[in-house]
Structure 1
């Protein structure tokens, strides 16, 4: 897909209602957001502000009520499920707080599994290279129970990146990790942005995690109410505290 020069993720006046529009709840209320290629955007806000809904709509996991969503320059707003499924397999990677690794499979088997499920053949060398990229070349044959939480999350990142997606969506990727493991994962994500031109959109509640991003977007009541470029932990914590207060 040729999309360089256009935003990796675009939302234009997106609304998302849960329930009927006239009586339901607006999880998103006119959100517009643009994430250029090779950037890292963190999304923050109080509980119920619409963070996860924004992530799901941007990734094509959830349908918008109105507005437009574009991924790597392609309008996915009204795309049929078959197209969305194929697009997600090629264009999008996902990393969640729960690692979602299969306990009976080794690290390399977990990395290869989604591609095999999609009917896409990946070579062992590609899998090994993906694991090496997250510092786990020597853990390829280890099963999840033999890995630390931080190592399991890095396997999940390798799995998400094996298809070289245009955008990596991360939902609380360090939420289940200790501080050292979280730091390792964040450094890995920063390296991916800096050296591989990866685009990351991440939801987090932790100011220290958000401060690793290039830009922090703040949501409240389904609307973008603030944003900070080149954030510091203090800036992020202060603005989040105001919203929560």
Structure 2
């Protein structure tokens, strides 16, 4: 059973382990006077089957939190548990294997390969992972994002919203435990953004997908089950099933 909107599995009484857990995580860049502390003792967790938005002013540490949680960056302090594994001291090879099997990524810039068709772009993670590429599975995931009839089109032949849906299909083809999204609607018009957000909502409600999403858009954040607010590397606020107006008001207070 998936988490209802606005209610994590923990709140529903489930004792399932967190899909992602950060324990006292710190992340620093540079040394000496040039040292920057992007995260400072952050502890939080994301329940299976939940969608959490991460927000904050520019420089608050939200993208760093996403990258550390996904194993894209090593933490300077603390622990990160991803899909049940402590990845804090994992080797590059171990992290690569974990990301290929347990993690999906969606970025603002789509990151599709222009010379490949939509179908070939979606199949790419399977090929890179050395596993069997099932045309049936690739087409099924494209169909799930409403693009089965665009599978032979290249990125330049698709709209921005369609390209982002291809990127989501590519992220989901390996059936990841967690989908990390960094500003997934940032480059889209309002109509395409609503389509993408509806697609993500359906993945949570129907398939129990766990999503952690960084966004600057209050409307996008309001589509999630919960919102975590960061400021100066600290989690300073949380909201459960907030409206877009409530998200905007809380963010404005932080930016002030």
Match for 1:84 among 83, 95, 104?
95
Match for 1:7 among 10, 18, 23?
18
- Name the CA distance, whole Å, in 1 between partners of 2:233 and 2:51: 21
- Name the CA distance, whole Å, in 2 between partners of 1:117 and 1:79: 20
Deviation at 1:67, TM superposition (A): 0.4
Match of 1:222 in 2: 233
CA displacement, residues 91-137 of structure 1 (integer Å, 9 cap, x when unaligned): 00000000111111110000001221221222100000010010111
Deviation at 1:227, TM superposition (A): 0.5
Match for 1:234 among 245, 249, 256?
245
- Name the CA distance, whole Å, in 1 between partners of 2:76 and 2:184: 27
CA displacement, residues 197-228 of structure 1 (integer Å, 9 cap, x when unaligned): 00000000010111000010000000000000
Match for 1:19 among 12, 15, 30?
30
- Name the CA distance, whole Å, in 1 between partners of 2:34 and 2:248: 34
SS at match of 1:126: helix
Match for 1:99 among 94, 100, 110?
110
Alignment pair present for 1:194 and 2:205 = yes
Match of 1:164 in 2: 175
**Distance of aligned partners of 1:10 and 1:83 in 2 relative to their CA distance in 1, 3 Å threshold:** same
Match of 2:6 in 1: none
- Name the CA distance, whole Å, in 2 between partners of 1:164 and 1:117: 15
Alignment pair present for 1:46 and 2:40 = no
C-alpha contact (below 8 Å) 2:29/2:37 kept by paired residues: yes
Structure 2, unmatched stretches of 5+, are 1-14
Alignment pair present for 1:176 and 2:176 = no
Give the 4+ runs in structure 1 shifted more than 2 A.
20-23
CA displacement, residues 119-168 of structure 1 (integer Å, 9 cap, x when unaligned): 12221000000100101111111111111100000000000000000000
Structure 1, unmatched stretches of 5+, are none
- Name the CA distance, whole Å, in 1 between partners of 2:31 and 2:131: 39
- Name the CA distance, whole Å, in 2 between partners of 1:241 and 1:120: 47
Task: Output the TM-score relative to the length of structure 2.
Answer: 0.93
Match of 2:148 in 1: 137
SS at match of 2:132: coil
Alignment pair present for 1:71 and 2:82 = yes
CA RMSD in angstroms comes to 1.1
Deviation at 1:21, TM superposition (A): 7.4
Alignment pair present for 1:153 and 2:164 = yes
Match for 1:30 among 30, 35, 41?
41
Aligned length: 242
C-alpha contact (below 8 Å) 2:125/2:174 kept by paired residues: no
